[in-house]
């Protein structure tokens, strides 16, 4: 398993070693000890989530202002463009984003730590997305930053408008939404 920091050092790209032959493949998708050693701190995951979405669905950019969640994300069917945005006001990378294509073919994962907004755009006809969280979902603390906030200028690989939930259509800008100190 190869775990490397991205352009934002607290966000990590995880690439497992895949063993494959004519029968199929095997890889270790998670090792608690290796994960903690790579990111340099202890992490306790409490919830696993699984979503399925159609092409051009954009989910995010989501986070919780309390019961703050770190997320370990991956795709088991299809392909997405995954994005993490630093929303820690005191961080030197505040407002910056990193993006990576995650797919069932490349088996890559991303660690999105607490203090980041997260979202993804489905690139394939459908995609199934799995993620572990470090705290429980709490709708009363959930916030959303609009996907096309010009101050962040995320380079989403889409022509036209994405398909958004009603909640994500009402999302605020980074400047007007709550964020972390």
List, as own/partner pairs, every contact residues 135-140 make where C-beta atoms lie below 8 angstroms and the sequence separation is at least 24, other chains included. 135/46, 135/47, 135/64, 135/67, 135/68, 135/69, 136/46, 136/47, 136/67, 137/47, 137/49, 137/64, 137/69, 138/64, 138/66, 138/67
Note the CATH number of domain 2-19+26-169.
Answer: 2.60.120.10
The whole model's pTM is what?
0.94
What's the chain's average pLDDT? 95
pLDDT tens string 93-151: 999 999 999 999 999 999 999 999 999 999 999 999 999 999 999 999 999 999 999 99
* Cβ neighbours, 10 Å, residue 27: 12
| Per-residue pLDDT at 178 | 84
pLDDT band at residue 48 under the 50/70/90 scheme: very high
* Percent of the chain residues past pLDDT 90, beyond the cut: 88
Active site residues: 62, 131
Task: Select from 124, 16, 120, 109 the least CA-distant residue to 61.
Answer: 120
| Per-residue pLDDT at 135 | 98
């Amino acid at each position: 398993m190869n775990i490397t920091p991205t352009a934002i050092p607290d966000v990590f790209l995880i690439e497992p070693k895949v063993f494959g032959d004519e029968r199929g493949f095997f890889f270790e998708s998670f090792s608690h000890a290796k994960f903690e050693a790579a990111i340099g701190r202890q992490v306790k995951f409490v919830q696993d989530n699984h979503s399925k979405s159609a092409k051009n669905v954009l989910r995010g950019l989501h986070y919780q202002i309390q019961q703050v969640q770190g997320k370990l994300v991956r795709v088991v069917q299809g392909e997405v463009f995954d994005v993490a945005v630093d929303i820690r006001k005191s961080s030197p990378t505040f407002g910056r984003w990193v993006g990576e294509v995650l797919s069932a073919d490349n088996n890559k994962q991303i660690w999105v730590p607490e203090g980041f907004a997260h979202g993804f755009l489905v690139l394939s006809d459908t995609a199934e997305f799995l993620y572990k969280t470090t705290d429980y979902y709490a709708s009363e603390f959930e916030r959303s930053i609009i996907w096309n906030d010009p101050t962040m200028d995320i380079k989403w690989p889409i022509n036209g408008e994405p398909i958004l939930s009603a909640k994500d259509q009402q999302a605020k800008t980074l400047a007007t939404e709550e964020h972390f100190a």
